[in-house]
Amino acid sequence: MSLSLLSRMKSKTGKDIDMDLGFDKDGLKMESAHLIQLFSPFVREGRMEHFKENMDKIFRKAIKFMVTMTRSRAIFVLVGKGLGQEYDPSTMQFQLTDSLDLDQRFLVDFFVSPALRKIGTADGRKFDRNFILCKAGVVIRRNNTTPPSSTEKSTEKSIKTES
């Protein structure tokens, strides 16, 4: 299936759902209140109003972003590969590490959040182009298992042939 066809199908489906169902503003307020209630035990004393305001803003922005992604003909992909892969600074942003010397190779131990990749444009063109809208947040560690050097490899071979 071509990306162009997939893009048109996604956009049409999103518009149909939006026209048929629309947004239930009261339902969204109830969902927002429910989320606030779920997280409220973790809010420090005296900070509840500030927390409610911020959570409500985050919820509204998330809904707006969802609508934008749904109506767009671009294709959005969450990128979160397997653990143990090498750290890639072009698609990942480290949240926590055991070293500040990032010249070495690092391995991903934990994905805090996935990356968001956009393929194509909002008008359904240029599917040969893609870019990272938001890098993945990761916890990384030094890769202490370095591949053996060429001299170590030759020593291993000679030991194996002698036995």
Residue pLDDT, tens place only, 117-157: 899 988 888 888 988 888 888 888 877 765 544 444 443 44
The HSE-up count of residue 51 (CA atoms within 13 Å, CB side) is: 15
Phi, psi of 135 (to 5 degrees): -75, 155
pLDDT of residue 28: 78
Global pTM reads 0.60
CA 126, CA 119: separation in Å to the nearest integer?
8
